[in-house]
Amino acid sequence: MFALVSFLALFSASVSAMPALSVRQNGASCTGLADGSTDSPAYNFTLAAYNTTLSNTNSTGAPLVLGWGPAGTSPAASEWAISTYAAWHSNEWPYFTLSNGALFPIPGPDENGLGAYDFTVASGAEVAFYVTEHESDPEPALIYCASADADSEYAKLAVNNDADSLSLCQATTAAWPNTVLVYEANSNNTNYDYSTCYPVQVNLVPYEA
């Protein structure tokens, strides 16, 4: 009998804990975004940019990959930005995973032993990662969310609680042309040509290995 009572007590305690748990799983990086948004989607995904003002070839959008970003300051790591496949022409990090608000590009066979780690994205900056040797205990910035979108098949990538302030812009810093994803594009940032920027939303397209 005691066993049954304590079992029931345990059961009701875990039931009452569930709403709090689902709120926590939604995550600070999803604050203010639609119900159903999550900082830890159960699927891996590729990214695709969808024009919000210009015409689109299809509703999935233009595929995005990791390409060279602005020249970094760290000698041990290079900075890579989310770029269009159309401009960068190769894809060494074939898909992404989003965990507790940290966005991880997953290395393909040529990038074995490396890791890509996100960091804070300031207004006007490229959406970028440090690529460095694989770290077992990285400390990425927890700033990304899969923002639910009732009008679309796909969740949208949100940065800093915002899925509506991303643009694609032509980079000025790489040794050859690249088109990069920028948060709150601004004419003051000289790593890209502001006059080329156009607004996009970024679809999370579920990836099947």
Ligand X SMILES: *[C@@H]1O[C@H](CO)[C@@H](O)[C@H](O)[C@H]1NC(C)=O
Contact positions toward ligand X, by CB under 6 A?
Answer: 43-44, 51, 54, 56-58, 60-63, 97, 106, 186-188, 198
Cα end-to-end span (Å), the chain: 50
Q: How far is the CB of 63 from ligand X (least distance, A)?
A: 5
- Closest CB 7 distance from ligand X, rounded Å: 33
52: left (phi over 0), alpha (psi -120 to 50) or beta: alpha
CA distances to 80, 94, 172, 174 from 190, rounded to whole Å, are: 16, 29, 7, 12
To the nearest whole angstrom, how small is the minimum distance from the Cβ of residue 5 to ligand X?
39
Question: Shortest approach of ligand X to residue 60 CB, angstroms?
Answer: 4
Residue 201 to residue 183: CA distance in whole angstroms: 11
For residue 91, the minimal CB distance to ligand X (Å) is 11
Do the beta carbons of residue 101 and residue 51 sit within 8 Å?
no
Residue pair 9/68 in contact by the 8 Å Cβ criterion: no
Name 21's Cβ contacts closer than 8 Å, sequence gap at least 6: none
Beta carbon nearer to ligand X, 161 or 186: 186
Please say which residue, 60 or 160, places its beta carbon nearer to ligand X: 60
Comparing CB distances to ligand X, the nearer of 47 and 62 is 62
- Closer CB to ligand X, residue 10 or residue 164? 164
| CB closer to ligand X out of 31 and 120 | 120
155 CB neighbour count, 10 Å cutoff: 26
- Nearer to ligand X by Cβ, of 119 and 184: the residue is 184
| Whole-angstrom distance, CA of residue 23 vs CA of residue 44 | 21
In angstroms, give the least distance from the CB of 106 to ligand X: 5
